[in-house]
Amino acid sequence: MVVVLGFVTLAIVMAVVGALLFASDRLGLLSRFWDALYPDFTAFNSGRGTTQTFRMLFVAMLVFGTVLAFWATGAGIMRTAWLFSVGPQGIAQALDPNGAACKPADCGNGGFLFLFSLLQVLRALGGVLLICLAAGLIGALLGFVFGLPRPMTAPEAPPAAAGGPGTPPGVDRRQASRAWELSTNLTQISDWLTKIIVGVSLVEATRVWGQFQIIAAAAANALFDMRHGSPALIPAAMIGGAVFGFLFAYLYTELIVALLIAGADRGLAEPTPHAKDTLRRIESFHEALVPRISRSARLVEPPPSPNQREVAAALEYNTIGYDQLTSRPDVTREDVLNWSRAKAVLNDYRAAAQGYVHLLGMQDS
């Protein structure tokens, strides 16, 4: 009776899970979940290097997870066999610590053993992967804290004389600075935490290792009664999970989140639509933008100057550097063109040339 009920329950659970998976697939939830797990790093500005790094990391994580799943499956079956070898009392003990949950007749039944074995495998798989995931989350938290970018404060920015952006002559410093800045609370906390963690880890290194062994032993005992290699494999799963979690979060924060934060920060200093429109409207042949190519090597007479509106529009781009601009994930050709025109209007032709090199796709040649 117990066996029949067990199989019926299992069938119902499997049917419900199957139906949920089917519905999720039909609604596109599964593909979105997969997309979230495996983001498209080939998108604009992510770069080939970033894509390859993450793909390599994903493959390594997949191999680690698969090996761990194989061991957990084997360990689950081994545990069933061990409990069976102890006798019906062993299985009863596994079902109920008091050992009075099943009658010997039921516990020796083949169907019951199959069901019991299946549940043991699920228990082992779920337990090991959950431990690995928990360790991975701790690693990811550390990776995020360590990888969070720190904004450069004004005194740290290299001066113009040292090749830094500086403030061009004739430009008011107040114009060059921004009225709003992105909150740096999280980055400051990250800075403090990083220092605290490194400091505490150095002082408490021996104690941390002792505590880790205690936790690993407790997990191995709870899941596998310290058998089937669990005293070695559970710490390995925890360390592996933590390392992969740290690597993934650190790289993701450094390579992706940092760009988004920098983009959001620049977004606060985004030129106004009016400035963009003014720059867009300048005619290509207008010499206030850039002088014509002359037959003469001499400077015969200065070209016409841009008007006040054009200069004001160009100044709105003054704080944006080429690298900052092109590292934005959402940068468009029009953004680069406006930036290049702004530099040309301010007579910074070498900077403008970088923009046109980008627009013409000359970097790849």
Residue among 155, 156, 152 nearest 184 (CA): 152
Is 48 a binding residue for other proteins by CB under 8 A? The answer is: no
Among 84, 146, 212, 356, binds other proteins (CB under 8 A): 356
Matching residue, tokens 């627009």: 359
Is 299 a binding residue for other proteins by CB under 8 A? The answer is: no
Helix extents (H) in the chain = 2-26, 29-37, 48-86, 88-95, 104-107, 110-147, 173-176, 185-203, 205-224, 230-252, 258-267, 273-281, 308-315, 322-326, 333-345, 349-359
**Radius of gyration in angstroms for the set of CA atoms belonging to the chain, rounded to a whole number:** 31
Most distant pair of Cα atoms in the chain: their distance = 109
Q: How far is CA 29 from CA 16, 23, 58, 84, in A?
A: 17, 8, 21, 41
Which CB, 57 or 359, lies closer to other proteins?
359
Is 219 a binding residue for other proteins by CB under 8 A? The answer is: no
Candidates 4-12, 144-152, 260-268, 288-296; binding stretch for other proteins (CB under 8 A): 288-296
Which CB, 110 or 302, lies closer to other proteins?
302
Which CB, 207 or 295, lies closer to other proteins?
295
Which CB, 18 or 304, lies closer to other proteins?
304
Residues whose CB is less than 8 angstroms from the CB of residue 229 and which lie 6 or more positions away in sequence, other chains included = 71, 75
Which CB, 26 or 350, lies closer to other proteins?
350
Residue among 318, 361, 360, 311 nearest 339 (CA): 318
Shortest Å, Cβ 336 to other proteins: 11
Which string of x and - marks every residue 318-347 that binds other proteins (by CB under 8 A)? -------------------x--xx--x---
Which CB, 37 or 293, lies closer to other proteins?
293
At residue 44, what is the residue type? F
Among 85, 98, 206, 284, binds other proteins (CB under 8 A): 284
Among 4, 174, 298, 323, binds other proteins (CB under 8 A): 298
Interacting residue ranges for other proteins, rule: CB under 8 A: 283-285, 289-298, 300-301, 337, 340-341, 344, 349-350, 352-353, 356-357, 359-362, 364-365
